[in-house]
Amino acid sequence: MEVIVLGSIFGYPVSLFAAVFCFLWLVYLWETYLDRRQRQVVLNTSDVPSELVHVINADEFSKSKAYVLDKMMFSFFHDAYDMLEATLVLWFSVVPWLWDKVTEHAAPLNKSIKNLLGVDIGLSSESEILCSLLFLFYVSLYKFFESLPWALYYDFVIEARYGFNKQTLPFFLWDRLKAFVLSILIGFPIVSGLIWIIKAGGRHFYVYAYVFTLIITLFLMFIYPEFIAPLFDRYVPLPEGELRTKIEALAAKISFPLKKLLVVEGSKRSAHSNAYFYGFGKNKRIVLYDTLIRGFKFPAKDGSTSKASGETDEASRGCAIDEEIVAVLGHELGHWKLGHTLINLAISQLNLFLMFLVFSSLINIDSIFTSFGFTSNVPVLLRLVVVFQFIFSPYNTVVAFLMIILSRRLEFQADRFAVDLGYGAYLKSALLVLHKDNLSFPVSDWLYSTFHYSHPPILERLAALDVLLKKK
C-alpha cells in the first residue's frame, strides 16, 4: 500500500497522514492554551471595569463570571472528547471500515426493503451514490445520538442555571428530531447531485460542482427564512406603533427595501436576544427577537395575548427605549449598505471555487487516500471528506483566522455607520443592555480574543464609539 512521504524529521519519514494528524493535535493544543489564558484573565478579574460600573453591579458581574467559567469548563471537556474521537477515527481508520460495512449491508438492506415495500431501490455494493447516502445516514444517526447528552447538559444545566433556557424537554427533542429529518431530506439530494456531477463532469467537473453548490446555496438562502425557519419558530408582524414607524423611517432613510418587519418568538427557546435581516433584491425582511423588546407581548396561537416579559422575572431584559432597538438595526443594516453581506458571500464563493479546483488535481492521486487507510476504489464522497476535512485543514485554519480579523473590521465599520445616522449614543446603551442581558464577560485576553471573537470585545467597541462620538 503506497503512502505519501512529505519528508523526514531526525531521520524518521513523515507521511501525509502523520502530518495531518500532528497538525490537528497542534491546533487542539493551541486552542487549549488560548482557553487557559482566557480562563486566567476571568479568574483574576475581580472588579467591574470602570466603563461598566454604571450598568453592571457586583452581583451581576459575579454571575457573568460564573457563567463564562461554566461554559469554558464545558468546552474543555467537549473539545477534549471531540479530539479523542477524531484521534480514534483517524488512527484506527474508522471511515474506511465504516464504508466496508456499508457495502456489506447494501444488498441485504435492499432485499429487506423489497420484501417490506415491494420496491427494488437498486442498493448494492456497486451503487456508489446509494451507498454514499447509506454511509451518511449511519454517520448522521451516530452524531444525532452522540451529541444529545452534550446538548442536554448545556441547555438544561448550564443555560438553565443562569435563566437562559426556556425549552421544555419535549420541545427540545422535537426540535432536534425535526432538524435531523430535514438534514436528511435536504442533504441527501444535494450530496447525490454533487457525487453525480463529479463522476460525470470530466476534467472540468470542478466548475460544474462549484456552480451546483452556488445555486444550492442561493436557493437555501431563499427558502430557509420562508419555509424552513417557521418549522422551528413562530413569526408575527411587528405591531403598528412608534417602534415600527421608527424602523420603517430608518429603512426609508437608507433606501433599504423593507418588505416585512417580523418578530420571532425566541423567548420560547432562550432568553438571549438578537436581530437580523435577510432576503434578495427588493424583497428584504427584518426580524427582531421578542426578547430584544422589553415588555413585548407575543400573541398566543389562539389569538389571545401571551404574558409579557414584564409579567415575569425577565422584566428588566431587553431594550426599553425604541431608539436603542433602531440603533441595533442601524448597525445591522449598515452591513447591507456598506456591502458587507456581498463581501462575505464573494469571499466564501471564491474560497469554495479554489477548494474545488485544488480537489480536482488531488482526486485521482490514490496514494493520498491509502495514507488514510483506504485500499482501493475509494468513493467520491470519501475523497471529498479526506481532502476537504483533513488535507485542507491547515488552509481552513488560516482562512478562518483571516475571516475573524475581517469580521471585526466590518463590525467597526457598521458601528460607524450607525453613528453617522445619529444613533451612536443609543448604540452604546443598546450594546450595554445586550451585554448585561446575555451575561457576557467584559474582559478578554488579547490573544484569545484575536483568535476567537468575530465581534470586537465590548470595551474596545465602546472606546471606538466614544472616539466617533467626540468627532461628531
If asked whether residues 391 and 310 sit together in one domain, one would say no
- Choosing from 273, 293, 318, the residue where a domain stops is 318
List the binding residues: 331, 335, 411
307 occurs within a structural domain: yes
Indicate whether 172 belongs to any domain.
no
Query: Which 3-state string (H, E, C) describes the chain?
Result: CCCCEEEEECCEEEEHHHHHHHHHHHHHHHHHHHHHHHHHHHHHCCCCCHHHCCCCCHHHHHHHHHHHHHHHHHHHHHHHHHHHHHHHHHHCCHHHHHHHHHHHHHHHHHHHHHHHHCCCCCCCCCCHHHHHHHHHHHHHHHHHHHHHHHHHHHHHHHHHHCCCECCCHHHHHHHHHHHHHHHHHHHHHHHHHHHHHHHHCHHHHHHHHHHHHHHHHHHHHHHHHHHHHHHCCCEEECCCCHHHHHHHHHHHHCCCCEEEEEEECHHHCECCCCEEEECCCCCEEEEEEHHHECCCCCECCCCCECCCHHHCCCCCCCECCHHHHHHHHHHHHHHHHCCHHHHHHHHHHHHHHHHHHHHHHHCCCHHHHHCCCCCCCCCHHHHHHHHHHHHCHHHHHHHHHHHHHHHHHHHHHHHHHHHHCCCHHHHHHHHHHHHHHCCCCCCCCHHHHHHHCCCCCHHHHHHHHHHHHHHC
Q: Is 31 noted as a catalytic residue in this protein?
A: no
Within a domain: 138? no
Q: Is residue 471 part of a domain?
A: yes
Cα-only R_g, the chain? 25
Catalytic residue among 35, 155, 415, 445: 415
Are 377 and 313 part of one and the same domain? no
In which domain, by residue range, is 273 found? 233-318
Whether 459 and 357 share a structural domain: yes
pLDDT at 376: 75
Q: Which amino acid is at 120?
A: D
Q: What pLDDT, on the 0 to 100 scale, is given for residue 14?
A: 65
One domain, residues 468 and 360: yes
Residue stretches of the annotated binding site for Zn(2+): 331, 335, 411
Whether residue 386 sits in one domain with residue 272: no
367 inside domain: yes
pLDDT at 2: 58
Q: Are 342 and 468 in the same domain?
A: yes
Residues 341 and 314 in one domain: no
From 159, 290, 314, 332, the catalytic residue: 332
The string of pLDDT tens digits covering residues 231-288 is 999 999 999 999 999 999 999 999 999 999 999 998 888 888 888 888 877 788 999 9
What's residue 125's pLDDT?
87
Domain boundary among 285, 318, 351: 318
Domain annotation covers residue 439: yes
| 411 domain residue, yes or no | yes
Q: Which residues of 82-108 are buried (b: 16+ CB within 10 A; e: fewer)?
A: ebeebeeebeebebbeebeebbebbee
Do residues 251 and 284 both lie within one domain?
A: yes
d(CA 211, CA 93): 32
Q: Do 367 and 471 have their domain in common?
A: yes
**Residue at which a domain ends, from 288, 318, 348:** 318
Pairing of strands 235-237, 258-264: antiparallel
Task: Kindly report the CATH number assigned to the domain that includes residue 278.
Answer: 3.30.2010.10
Same domain, 307 and 342: no
**Sheet of strand 275-278: strand arrangement:** 235-237, 258-264, 284-289, 275-278
Q: Cell triple for residue 419?
A: 453613528
pLDDT score for 311: 45
- CB–CB of 430/327 below 8 Å? yes
Task: Answer yes or no: do 438 and 402 share one domain.
Answer: yes
Q: How many domains does the chain have?
A: 2
Predicted local confidence at residue 76, as pLDDT = 97
Is 332 labeled as catalytic in the residue annotation? yes
Contact 263, 319 (CB under 8 A): no
d(CA 273, CA 285): 17
Sites in the chain below the pLDDT cut of 70: 1-14, 301-315
Q: Is residue 439 located within the same domain as residue 372?
A: yes
